[in-house]
A and B are shown apart, each in its own frame.
Chain A
Amino acid sequence: MAGVTFENITISYDSKVIIDNLSLKVEDGECFAILGPSACGKTTLMRALCGFKSLDSGQIHIGGKLVGSKDKWKSVAPEKRNVGVVFQDYAVWPHYSVFENVYYPLKKRKVPKEEAKKRALHAIEQVRMKGYEERMPAQLSGGQQQRVALARALVSSDQLMVLDEPISNLDANLREEMRFEIKELQRRTGITVIYITHDQEVALAIADRMAILDQKGYVRQVGVPEDVYRNPKDSSIYKFLGVSNFIPLERRGEGYALAGEGANEPFPCDVPQELRGAARLFAACRPVDISVGDDGPVKGFVKHVVYLGNLFEYRVLLGGREIRVQQDSHEAFKTGVPREERPCALSFRNLRFYGDEEGGTPS
């Protein structure tokens, strides 16, 4: 069990700075997600943590011990950092069997044979690959290879595990199953896990705490998933965390109205203190928090009605923009499914307000 601290980390490749003065603290025993869009630098951060990339400045500590520093002679070599890693492409060695793959770290750490064999078999069982010990990776599916990589990481270290997009290449069902298993594994063993991904669904489901990075590698928000999801600090985080609708509003006397074409429609809402008085704002809303019906405070126009089984999805024109609405199909049948190419009325819940649509400056 070990916590991890990143202090003022700067990393660059050739002449480009990838990570700029980043600081993060991961608590001992927590499952911490680092969430960010592709190519934002999170993999670079992970490589620095594992020892494959040098730092331009700053320090990395694992379990209180200094492992990464801009001075080469102070940094600890990757093989001595005691970190279990699952790489994005699993990196399961094709010339070793499942057992040999999982056994390797124990051999390198000079664990006595009997003990090592026991631990390897136990890890294989923990990832539900019992019975596959003699198989070669070429005979395994993607999901099975990923589990081998997981088992191997488990025996590599009892203090820290770093997972880099480990399930992005799996199909939807397997993805869901595996993320649950990873979480269960972490809960049972109490190991610190740093999970790196661009998939916000996984991050929200699996993390005890999470950090959100933006396109340029700056940390925008850190917190518990529920908190981050309900209170995104700016609009780009809001958008990144899930399907979102942004409704432009204009100041109209004391209140606000829909901006854009079809303007002048008053938009009744409770704008928070710090944004009151702004000439223009955006109201952000999740599809599931909008109701479409015959009565409601705001008028719109239904363009498309899509049946998805458990849900209905509506595309509604509002103030010249198309917004997305989701409704449980059950309810829809009870109250009457809206018709395409018809006007409708909308009501909103859980609105959040932002000054702009693209996201603010880094903190």
Chain B
Amino acid sequence: MRLLRRRDGRMSTRMFGGGFDLNRILMLVCLLILIVTVAMPMIMIIYNTFFYGFTFDWSMFSKVVFDPANVDAMWNTVVIAFWVTLVGTFVGVFYAWLIGRTNIPLKGLMKTLFVIPYMFPPFIGAVAWGLLLSPRAGYINKMWMQMMGTREALFNINSIAGIVFVEVCYYFPFVFLQVVSALERMDPTLEESARISGANQFYVIRKITLPLVAPAVAAGAMLILISSLSHFGVPAMLGFSRGIFTLPTKIYELINRSAGSFEGIRQGAALSVLLVLVVVVALWLQRKILKAGHYDIIRGKSMRPMLITLRASKFPLLGVCLGSLFVIVLLPLFIIFAVGGLKAYGLPLQLSNMTFDNYYYVLFSSQMARDAIKNTFILSISSAVVAMFTGTMIAYVVVKVKVRGKAILEMLALLPYSVPGIVLAIGVILMWSGTFYVNLYNTIWIILVAYVARYVAFAMKSSSASLEQVHYSLEEAARSCGATHLESLRDITLALIRPGMIAGFFLIFLPAMRELTTSILLYGPYTRTLGVAIYAINAEGNITQSAALSAVTILIIMLGNLALRFVTRDRRSVS
């Protein structure tokens, strides 16, 4: 029995209606999936950090946290993330502004090229820059030393500065894309009204454009910050040899050193808690500092924004852009493919030193490499499919179904976004190594579970966006035309979100292909992924082969991106 208030103020009663059962079941299923894949690993980490058996014991946590080596690693993590965010944001805004607001030539080309680092695995970039700037054998350093006649390298990439440089190269597109998009969609009359009010071009940029774009900048900067704090590949490739550790790499080293023992994993878990705390504090600080609101500045009619005419500075600036594109995009690509074709690392880059042997080896001879390629494909495709369907189902419940408690669902699904990959890996290990009678350790399944947990968030976001565009009146119109509920879901809803689902598939497939941070902790002797294989071969010292495998990986990823572009181009789909 429920009490109702009528429109003229009087009260009345009504018997409780039913019909919520199917929706409730759907929600419970989604909740169960998320709890098992996402929530439990997190809980296991916290539990194992602070509890031994069933007793509360925080001695290990404090021991780990106050260990000077770990404090050092934490400090490095924070310093690197700080500089990467600062420099990356500046670089991103600079280029975004050049492309979005000036009449610099070759915009289309540069826009495409500036986005390429976004699809690259940063650790392959680290490999490339190692080839170029490692203190003794790096090609640029060697050239420099020859030219200058010294034994001093031009730049040592195996340093904090080196790590910052490489991470900036691969993370600045986060800010670049956000800001370019904001600038392009901004209502030009906001700037024009400032001009008419007496402000010249520069005053307008300072007082109007930049403040209005601040939310986009903040969003991009936040992405850079989280990515850098959680990142494993670049500090691993460039820092290990010099004993420079960050929290993610330290976690790996701890576990590796203890050969996967439970004690080692517990310590790793403790460090993970520390890492998550650092992430949370950093996010909170950033939100406080930037405090940028959300402005509705999208233009309505199709108006062209006013472009600043560059006069004397046009060609120098173009030179800067093309130069940096060369350095960021082309140089690493070139060196990877080139060294992949060398007979031995260190040999001068001339045709007489070239061979296809390395490529042949990684593609056909090396069992590990071929296994890695196979594993990566299997994992990427299956995790993308599973995550996509799960994510779409969750998105459907969150967007379309009227049921209580879906806020929890949404929160759980989006949690992995802010959890570093290495932390998730540890949680997955703790969860699926026999504690609950299921032992997936060292099998490919454990990696699959970790990937699904990580990527469900991506799929849910992309499917939510699609579903929100499918207004309920579109389904109802189908019902009124004679379609049953199921038919309307099939003919209308599914048909309209299909492009979004396919895009969602690639949104997971591509990152999964180039992933290293999570699989580095979860791989077993036969379950190496491409990232792990490259890392292992490099660690063994087979530089040319690791370069060749990196080159192959890059090719596969580029093909994947082309496929994505092809599939998501505007055809007969949702406007």
Contacts and interface: CB of A to CB of B under 8 A. Distances in A.
A and B touch in the complex (CB under 8 A): yes
Interface of A: 12, 15-18, 20, 50-52, 54, 56, 72, 77-81, 83-85, 87-89, 91, 93-95, 104-105, 108-109, 136-138, 149, 152, 156, 216-218, 362
A109 B481 CA distance: 8
Given A12-B14, A77-B484, A51 B479 contact: yes
Contacts of B18: 72
A78 B479 contact: yes
A85 B496 CA distance: 21
B473 interface: yes
Contacts of B479: 50-52, 77-79
B478 A136 contact: no
Nearest to B498: A95
A94 B575 contact: yes
Given A78-B476, A95-B573, 4 more contacts: A17-B7, A20-B7, A89-B471, A218-B8
Contact of B8 (A15, A156, A362): A362
Interface string B10-33: 001010011100000000000000
List the 5 shortest-distance A-B pairs measured between CB atoms, nearest first. A108-B482, A105-B481, A91-B477, A216-B7, A78-B479
Contacts of B12: 17
A224 to B, nearest CB: 28
Q: Pick the most buried of B477, B481, B484, B573: most chain A CB atoms within 10 A of its CB.
A: B481
A20 B473 contact: no
Interface in B455-476: 471, 473-474, 476
A17 B477 contact: no
Contacts of A94: 496, 573-575
B477 A85 contact: yes
Q: Pick the most buried of A12, A89, A137: most chain B CB atoms within 10 A of its CB.
A: A12
Q: Pick the most buried of A17, A156, A216: most chain B CB atoms within 10 A of its CB.
A: A17
Given A15-B2, A51-B479, A78-B480, A93 B7 contact: no
Given A12-B14, A72-B19, A217 B480 contact: no
Interface in B375-394: none
Nearest to B492: A93
Interface in B432-476: 471, 473-474, 476
Given A79-B480, A79-B483, A94-B496, A20 B572 contact: no
Contacts of A16: 4-5, 7
Contacts of B6: 17, 20
A152 B476 contact: no
Contacts, number: 96
A15 B484 CA distance: 29
Nearest to B476: A52
Contact of B474 (A50, A84, A91, A362): A91
24 contacts: A15-B2, A17-B7, A17-B12, A18-B7, A77-B479, A78-B476, A78-B480, A80-B482, A84-B480, A87-B476, A87-B477, A93-B492, A94-B496, A94-B573, A95-B574, A104-B481, A105-B482, A137-B575, A149-B477, A152-B477, A152-B481, A156-B480, A156-B482, A218-B8
Nearest to A109: B482
Given A15-B2, A91-B471, A91-B473, A85 B480 contact: yes
B4 A12 contact: yes
Given A50-B480, A72-B19, A105-B482, A56 B572 contact: no
B563 interface: no
Contacts of A89: 471, 473
Given A20-B7, A79-B483, A93 B572 contact: no
B373 to A, nearest CB: 37
A15 B5 contact: yes
Contact of B480 (A18, A83, A136, A216): A83
Contacts of A149: 477
A287 B484 CA distance: 52
A72 B21 CA distance: 15
A17 B5 contact: yes
A183 to B, nearest CB: 22
A77 B479 CA distance: 9
A138 B2 contact: no
Contacts of B484: 77, 79
B473 to A, nearest CB: 4
A15 B4 contact: yes
A58 B8 CA distance: 19
A80 B480 CA distance: 8
A54 B474 CA distance: 19
B3 interface: yes
Given A93-B492, A95-B495, A95-B496, A79 B482 contact: yes
A149 B478 CA distance: 11
A136 B573 CA distance: 10
A329 B205 CA distance: 51
A138 B469 CA distance: 14
Contacts of B4: 12, 15-17
B499 to A, nearest CB: 9
Nearest to A20: B6
B111 to A, nearest CB: 25
B192 interface: no
Contacts of B17: 54
A141 to B, nearest CB: 13
B487 interface: yes
Nearest to A216: B7
Nearest to B479: A78
A108 B492 CA distance: 13
A87 B480 CA distance: 10
A199 to B, nearest CB: 20
A9 to B, nearest CB: 13
Contacts of B14: 12, 56
Nearest to A16: B5
A181 to B, nearest CB: 20
Contacts of A95: 495-496, 572-574
A353 to B, nearest CB: 26
Q: Pick the most buried of A51, A104, A108: most chain B CB atoms within 10 A of its CB.
A: A108
Contacts of B476: 50, 52, 78, 85, 87, 91
A56 B16 CA distance: 10
A51 B481 CA distance: 12
Contacts of A54: 17
A153 B484 CA distance: 17
A17 B9 CA distance: 10
A88 B573 CA distance: 22
B480 A20 contact: no
B572 A136 contact: yes
A54 B19 CA distance: 11
A253 B8 CA distance: 38
Contacts of B575: 94, 137-138
Contacts of A136: 572
Contacts of A50: 476, 479-480
Contacts of B7: 16-18, 20, 216-217
Contacts of A216: 7-8
Interface string B489-514: 00110011000000000000000000
A104 B2 CA distance: 41
Contacts of A362: 8
A111 B471 CA distance: 28
B5 to A, nearest CB: 6
B210 to A, nearest CB: 35
Contacts of A93: 474, 477-478, 492, 496
Interface string B540-575: 000000000000000000000000000000001111
A15 B482 contact: no
Nearest to B8: A216
Contact of A15 (B3, B492, B495): B3
A156 B476 CA distance: 13
Contacts of A88: 473
A149 B473 CA distance: 12
Contacts of A109: 482
A79 B478 CA distance: 8
Nearest to B17: A54
